[in-house]
Amino acid sequence: MRLTADRLDRISPSLTIAVATKARALQAAGRDVISLSAGEPDFDTPRNIKDAAIRAIEAGETKYTDVSGTPALRQAVAAKFLRDSGIDYRPEEIIISTGGKQVIFNCMLATLNAGDEVIIPSPCWVSYPDIVSLADGKPVLIPCGQNQGFKLRAEDLEAAITPRTRWFMLNNPCNPTGAAYSAAELKPITDVLMRHPDVWVFTDDIYEKLAYDGMKPATILEVEPRLRERTVTMNGCSKSWAMTGWRIGFAGAPVALIKAMDKLQSQSTANPSSISQAAALEALTGPQDSVEAMRQVYQARRDLVVRELNRAKGLNCHQPEGAFYVYPSIHGCIGKTSAGGAKIVDDEAFVTALLDEEGVATVHGAAFCYPGHFRISYATSTEQLQEAMRRIRRFCHGLS
Amino acid sequence: MPALAQRLGRVQVAASTTMTVRARELRAAGKDVVALTLGEPAFATPRHAIEAGLEAARRGETKYPPQDGVPALKQAIQRKFKRDSGLDFALDEISVSNGGKQSIFNALAATVDPGDEVVIPVPSWNAYPLMTNFLDGRPVFVACPQNNGFKPRAEDIEAALTPRSKWLILNNPNNPSGAACSADELAAIAAVLRRHPGVWIMSDDMYEHLVFDGFRHATMAAVAPDLRDRVLTISGVSKTYAMTGWRIGFAAGPRALIKAMVNMQGQVTAGVSTVGQAAAAAALDGPQESVGEMVAAYQRRRDLAVEMLNACRGLSCHKPEGAFYVFPNVAGCLDRTTPGGRRIKSDTDFALALLEEAYVALVPGASYGMSPYVRVSTAADEAVLVEGCRRIQRFCAALA
């Protein structure tokens, strides 16, 4: 008998996990591998947040909560949106999920019919097109090249919208490029959206707090409040508060959509961990100095890796505004042969040879629907980063 | 807002949720409501599990976990299956999810194509048919009447199987009836399944430890080892260790199925809260005395509830083998009228009238696919349960 359902074939195998698995195998074989492939902070969860979780456990907050999250956390999320972005959500317009990913899953499964189109600027996190496909939708990718700072141009968005377009998805700041949009940059995009009243907007702002040089990433509703009745504002604790393992994401959206998402969530996982919700409450309402301290460290690391990568022969690295990734182009390396004899035919060959020959794990651009580049995560210690940069430069200089 | 996806129309809000919401409204209005609705233990999580959760938070186990579960928990699950059921599973035959519900969702989502049939003995937990509908599958119900102790009969299952049957779901002990099949009863069902090699078997054993009067829990993978390559066994820590809020469930079965389930989960939530996983491992490996104490308390409450409900005019309550529910028949109350003037035409009318006039919340059997019954949860404290049953007695006595 055939085991799997057709829908499972629409999920691409995770190239990120494939890289991580290979890096672990090399490590297990005794190789000194530096991993720049992880999409998570290297920092531990701040002390005050862990303490809040510990208090919750001690207080017996270990029961089912409402499917959409505790009233206290929904209230705190509403307050966060008001404080940070001036969006006035009521608690019933908020849902808490097991990671931001579940918000995306709930939202797409709740709204897409077969053949509905979802516009996604690329490079992008591969889960966007995967989840759209899983929901029988059709991802429509708009390439956003390095020459435009990896940012979407309003005219390209306008050209991509059809009568079948259901959603426009934006990741700001972006994984894998680190590109972030200011309010002024979003305005032309929201102007286009205002002309297409049937298109919904999903903005994934999970890297919001990680922006540099005084830049403030804007969110759609901050720029165009009139889109409120068709916008989902997603955010979460994982990146800004170093809480990936706690699995808490959240979103604000019109009540009818929140109810639909709640219904779906009640049938797939029910509520997120009650303990993690208590931790998230502290993250949002407690002192924020650890967020700022982490941000400053990331900024220094970004400056380091951009500088060093641009000194590597054949690489060209754009300096992004946010997140903890850079996305250098390898066009100057294509067609060459590595010191170890590997032919660099594409970005996958590049990252494979880099891992095999120098023990540096990164993720190739094809994993983000945009080849010719590779992603470096600088969420690792400065010492490790310096060593990795030395190795990458040596690798590039060895290409002939 | 634009219409929601068609698939969402196939997911109804659970009647238990409707009752819970109405009970909350009455409470908010100052009424003293006794809730016998919840499928949640009133006990606290065992101390050693709590400590392990605290330790994990302190140690900084706060990063993305592997999507299939952390190795320490998977090893504890491996030992649990060996210890409790004599089942040997390799680590890649085990996966961890956000509650047992997600394991069920993963399994169905990974395997059910449009039109595939899922055979569900009723009464059943409403999540099975809801998920099946949502995934474009077709639930096929097999009635398990009270005169057979609410247990599925092999011949009825045989009659329900067709070439489109993809799964048979066994929930043992059963929510909402508390009925549990013995090894012999399962063996008779296994004999039928041998004649239908294309059918997967899901054994949802979430309540496996909550069995009374020395009843021995049996599970299909152990009863029919020859069927093991198509049996998925699901369990968790929510009910056995009073850990509902931690959201940890797990599944064990054939490697290819587990792999497909993990792949599916990767698109919905990714991994499971690390702190919860640490606590679950400790719960499974640690001292089990608390389980015995809970079971003794549940058995006492079951006896109490069955006795008090059988003393109600018009009710007939079967004494079940396990879980923390009883499922009395309300046929004797139909076509009667409450003092408040409500005519009782169905179990839903009965439950609503009981809530509005006697302030006792329970769930109508219609939610579980069998009428005219109601589900009474015995998870509440003894005093609450006694008060609830007294009110039901008075309510029934006053029907005219």
Assign 3-class secondary structure to A261-279.
HHHHHHHHCCCCCHHHHHH
**Residue B250, φ and ψ in degrees, nearest 5:** -155, 165
Contact residues on chain B for A246, CB-CB shorter than 8 A: 62, 273-275
What pLDDT is stored for residue B14 in this prediction?
A: 66
The alpha carbon of residue A109 is apart from the nearest alpha carbon of chain B, in Å, by: 7
Q: Is residue A51 situated within a structural domain?
A: no
Chain B partners within 8 Å of A104 (Cβ): none
The b/e string for B26-43 (b: 16+ C-beta within 10 A; e otherwise) is eeeeeeebbbbbbbbbbb
Contact B240, B210 (CB under 8 A): yes
CA distance B173 to chain A (A): 21
**Interface residue A45 vs chain B (CB under 8 A):** yes
Q: How far apart are CA A341 and CA A237, in angstroms?
A: 44
Average pLDDT over residues A197-215: 97
Q: Residue type for B146, please?
A: Q
Q: B267 and A105 in contact by Cβ < 8 A?
A: yes
Q: Lowest-confidence range among A4-13, A110-119, A238-247, B322-331?
A: A4-13
Q: Kindly state whether B243 is in contact with chain A, defined as any CB-CB distance less than 8 angstroms.
A: yes
Considering the domain architecture, whether residues A29 and A82 belong to the same structural domain is answered as no
In total, the C-beta contacts within 8 angstroms joining chain A to chain B are 201
End position of a domain, from candidates A215, A250, A285: A285
Q: Per-residue confidence at A363, pLDDT binned at 50, 70, 90?
A: very high
Residue A50 included in any domain? no
CATH value at residue A260: 3.40.640.10
Number of independent structural domains in chain A: 2
Average pLDDT of the residues of chain A: 95
Identify from A10, A231, A247 which residue to disrupt to test chain B contact, counting B C-beta atoms within 10 A and taking the largest count. Answer: A247
Q: What is the pLDDT of residues A266-282, one digit of tens each?
A: 989 999 999 999 999 99
Q: What pLDDT sits at residue A25?
A: 86
Residue A106: pLDDT above 80? yes
The model's pLDDT over A318-351, given as tens digits with 9 standing for 90+, comes to 999 999 999 999 999 999 999 999 999 999 999 9
Structural domain ending residue among the three candidates A285, A301, A335: A285
**Strand B200-204 relative to strand B363-364: parallel, antiparallel, unpaired?**
unpaired
Do the chains contact at A274 and B131, CB–CB below 8 Å? no
Question: What are the tokens at B334?
Answer: 């139909």
Whether chain A has a CB inside 8 Å of the CB on B101: the answer is: yes
- Assigned token pair, B207: 């309540």
The answer to whether B115 and B164 have CB atoms below 8 angstroms apart is yes
Residue A25 shares a structural domain with residue A112:
no
The full 3-state SS of chain B, as one line of letters, equals CCCCCHHHHCCCCCHHHHHHHHHHHHHHCCCCCEECCCCCCCCCCCHHHHHHHHHHHHHCCCCCCCCCCCHHHHHHHHHHHHHHHCCCCCHHHEEEECCHHHHHHHHHHHHCCCCCEEEEEECCCCHHHHHHHHCCCEEEEEECCHHHCCCCCHHHHHHHCCCCEEEEEEECCCCCCCCCCCHHHHHHHHHHHHCCCCCEEEEECCCCCCECCCCCCCCHHHHCHHHHHHEEEEEECCCCCCCHHHCCEEEECCHHHHHHHHHHHHHHCCCCCHHHHHHHHHHHHCCCHHHHHHHHHHHHHHHHHHHHHHCCCCCECCCCCECCEECCECHHHCCEECCCCCEECCHHHHHHHHHHHHCEECEEHHHHCCCCEEEEECCCCHHHHHHHHHHHHHHHHCCC
Chain B from 272 to 291: CB within 8 A of any A CB: 272-276
Q: Is A14 on the interface with B (CB under 8 A)?
A: yes
Architecture of domain B47-285: 3-Layer(aba) Sandwich (3.40)
What is the identity of the amino acid at A287? P
**Confidence label for A1 from pLDDT (cuts 50, 70 and 90):** low
**Residue A68 shares a structural domain with residue A206:** yes
pLDDT at residue B40, rounded to an integer: 74
Contacts of A65 in chain B (CB under 8 A): 245
pLDDT band at A164 (very low <50, low <70, confident <90, very high): very high
Chain B's closest residue to A9, CA to CA, is: B110
The structure tokens listed for B23 are 């009970």
Residue A75 and residue A195 in one domain: yes
Which CATH number belongs to the domain containing residue A363 in this structure?
Answer: 3.90.1150.10
Cβ-based contacts of B64 with chain A (< 8 Å): 38-40, 244-245
Q: How do residues A207-216 score in pLDDT, each as one tens digit?
A: 999 999 999 9
CA distance A54 to chain B (A): 6
Averaged pLDDT, A89-116 = 96
Contact A274 B57 (CB under 8 A): no
Q: Is the pLDDT of residue A19 over 90?
A: no
Q: Is the pLDDT of residue A116 over 90?
A: yes
> Which two structure tokens, joined as six digits, stand for B249?
């469930």
Domain coverage including residue A380 = 6-44+290-397
Residues A67 and A87 in one domain: yes
* ipTM confidence score: 0.86
To probe the interface with B, which of A43, A50, A113, A273 has the most B CB atoms within 10 Å?
Answer: A273
Contact A269 B50 (CB under 8 A): no
A315 and A175 belong to one structural domain? no
Domain edge (last residue) among A245, A260, A285: A285
Q: Establish if B263 touches chain A: CB-CB under 8 angstroms.
A: yes
For A163, counting Cβ atoms within 10 Å of its Cβ (0-12 exposed, 13-18 middle, 19+ buried), the class is exposed
On whether residue A1 sits in a domain, the answer given is no
Distance CA A320, CA A299 (A): 10
- Tokens representing A138 are 């059709």
Fold of B6-44+290-397: Aspartate Aminotransferase, domain 1 (3.90.1150)
B55: how many CB neighbours lie within 10 A of its CB?
15
Nearest CA-CA distance, residue A20 and chain B, Å? 11
What is the rounded distance in angstroms from the CA atom of residue A317 to the CA atom of residue A397? 16
Structure confidence at residue B142 (pLDDT): 98
- Burial class for A332, CB neighbours closer than 10 Å (0-12, 13-18, 19+): middle
pLDDT at site B13? 65
B267 touches chain A (CB under 8 A): yes
B382-397 helix and B289-310 helix, angle to the nearest 10 degrees: 10
Work out the angle between the directed axes of helices A127-134 and A100-111 (0-180°, nearest 10). Answer: 30
Half-sphere exposure of A179 (CA within 13 A, CB side): 26
Q: What mean pLDDT do residues A372-395 have? A: 97
Interface contact A110-B64, CB threshold 8 A: no
State the average pLDDT over residues A19-47.
Answer: 90
- Measured between CA atoms, how close is B376 to chain A, in angstroms? 18
pLDDT of residue B41: 78
CB-closest option in B5, B60, B260 to A109: B5
Domains of chain B by residue range: 6-44+290-397, 47-285
Q: Which of A65, A130, A264 has the CB atom closest to B11's CB atom? A: A264
Q: What is the mean pLDDT of residues A153-176?
A: 98
What is d(CA B294, CA B384) in angstroms, rounded to the nearest whole number? 16
- Domain contains A58: no
pLDDT in tens, chain B (400 residues): 556 788 877 776 666 777 877 888 899 899 999 999 877 777 889 999 999 999 999 998 989 888 999 999 999 999 999 999 999 999 999 999 999 999 999 999 999 999 999 999 999 999 999 999 989 999 999 999 999 999 999 999 999 999 999 999 999 999 999 999 999 999 999 999 999 999 999 999 999 999 999 999 999 999 999 999 999 999 999 999 999 999 999 999 999 999 999 999 998 998 899 999 999 999 999 999 999 999 999 999 999 999 999 999 999 999 999 999 999 999 999 999 999 999 999 999 999 999 999 999 999 999 999 999 999 999 989 999 999 999 999 999 999 9
- Cβ–Cβ below 8 Å for A134 and B40: no
Clarify whether residues A299 and A279 are in a common domain.
no
Residue A205 has pLDDT above 70, yes or no: yes
A202 and A252 together in one domain? yes
B132: nearest CA partner in chain A: A267
Instruction: Look at residues B244, B354, B14, B296 and name the one whose alpha carbon lies nearest to residue A275.
Output: B244
Please tell me whether residues A330 and A393 are part of one structural domain. yes
